[in-house]
Amino acid sequence: MSTIERVGVIGGGVMGSGIAEVCARAGLDVVLCELDEGAAQKALARIERSFGRGVKAGKLTEEDVSAATGRLHLVTSLDAMRDRQLTIEAVTEDEPLKVEIFRRLDFVVADADAILASNTSSIPIMKLAMATKRPESVVGMHFFNPVPVLPLVELISSLLSSDWTIERSQEFAESALHKTVIRSGDRAGFIVNALLIPYLLSAIRMSESGFATPEDIDRGMVLGCAHPLGPLALSDLIGLDTVQAVAESLYDEFKEQLYAPPPLLLRMVDAGLLGRKSGRGFFTYPG
């Protein structure tokens, strides 16, 4: 099994920049693709801030940062993915957009053995795989935020993912990135979000009904159940737009009411109150 040394990441938001960072820190050659130069610079700034936190915490040295930065290349064209052995799509949770990216990657990536992976939180991998002529090479690799801190990766195989692709992907996540891998079947939400999203939506409905304040809901789960973060603060961290997108994907697949996004969530997303990334969600955050 050949060692993966050249990785491409598509999308430099919170998740994509985190994935690119951990790959660069692992000694890999990383190409990070964004829409334009402005978005690429924002992604770089996000990674640099994370590096700074690592240095301040004593987990990285300035030499580590310099070496990792030298392995990270920002581009604005998917053509730069041509020589990648592994590409990880990490754009917004929008199915048509992801499908189009996989269609283009299938055309661009030259290595027939390359793995085409998605960091999707909920979209069935088969829908992305069928946009390519190599569905056996397509998998889900779902990282968790913040990527440099949380140790988990969900590895999702579709009905057509080859055993070789899955084994190689797991070996990469475990050996190169030192992540813990759990394997999931290919259904909306996979393992973690299929369990998490109904919990978050229940907390949103409780707040929406006026039964309890956001502060008391979160205090109850942090102090009463020893959760590190309350459900509404966690929703803000994930991004309320992402919570909505995952909920809609789950509801589309299962048609169960517990997955339906509450009206309050829909209105907050419409208003741009997305949580930490917008500065305000259920709580307010400093700029």
Q: What's the CATH number where 254 sits?
A: 1.10.1040.10
55 and 178 inside one domain: yes
Task: Calculate mean pLDDT across residues 127-150.
Answer: 96
Is residue 177 located within the same domain as residue 110? Answer: yes
Asked if 28 and 77 sit in the same domain, the reply is yes
The predicted pLDDT at position 1 comes to 58
pTM: 0.90
Measured in whole angstroms, the distance separating CA 207 from the mean position of its chain's CA atoms is 27
Please identify, among 184, 215, 235, the residue that sits at the C-terminal boundary of a domain.
184
pLDDT at residue 152, rounded to an integer: 98
Mean pLDDT of 254-272: 97
The verdict on residue 146 lying in a domain is: yes
pLDDT (average), residues 193-203: 97
Same domain, 24 and 122: yes
The neighbour count for residue 272, using CB atoms within 10 Å, is 11
Per residue in 63-75, pLDDT (tens digit) is: 999 999 999 999 9
Would residue 241 count as lying in a domain? Answer: yes
Residues 171 and 67 in one domain: yes
pLDDT band for 241, please (50, 70, 90 cuts): very high
Instruction: Calculate the average pLDDT of the chain.
Output: 96
**Helix spans in 111-256 (H):** 125-129, 163-171, 192-209, 214-225, 231-238, 240-254
User: At 278, is the pLDDT very low, low, confident or very high (cuts 50, 70, 90)?
Assistant: very high
Burial class (CB in 10 A: 0-12, 13-18, 19+), 230: buried
Q: Would you state the pLDDT for residue 287?
A: 75
Q: Is position 287 within any domain? A: no
pLDDT at 173: 98
Residues 131 and 198 in one domain: no
CB-CB neighbours of 1 under 10 Å = 8
CA 81/CA 89 separation, integer angstroms: 11
Share of the chain above pLDDT 90, in %: 95
Confidence of residue 210 (pLDDT cuts 50, 70, 90): very high
Q: What is the mean pLDDT of residues 187-193?
A: 94
Q: Which residues are catalytic?
A: 121, 142, 154, 193
Inside any domain, residue 172: yes
User: pLDDT (tens digit, 9 = 90+) per residue, 105-116?
Assistant: 999 999 999 999
CATH number at residue 133: 3.40.50.720
Rounded to whole angstroms, how far apart are CA atoms 270 and 250? 20
Domain end among 134, 150, 184: 184
In a domain, 22, yes or no: yes
Longest dimension (CA), the chain: 56
In a domain, 165, yes or no: yes
Structural domain count, the chain: 2
Q: Which of 239, 160, 136, 128 is nearest to 193 (CA)?
A: 239
In which element (H, E) is residue 98 found? helix 95-108
> In terms of domains, do 131 and 159 share one?
yes
The verdict on 52 and 167 lying in the same domain is yes
Residue 38 scores a pLDDT above 70: yes
Q: Tell me which of 125, 155, 184 is where a domain ends.
A: 184
| Domain shared by 222 and 273, yes or no | yes
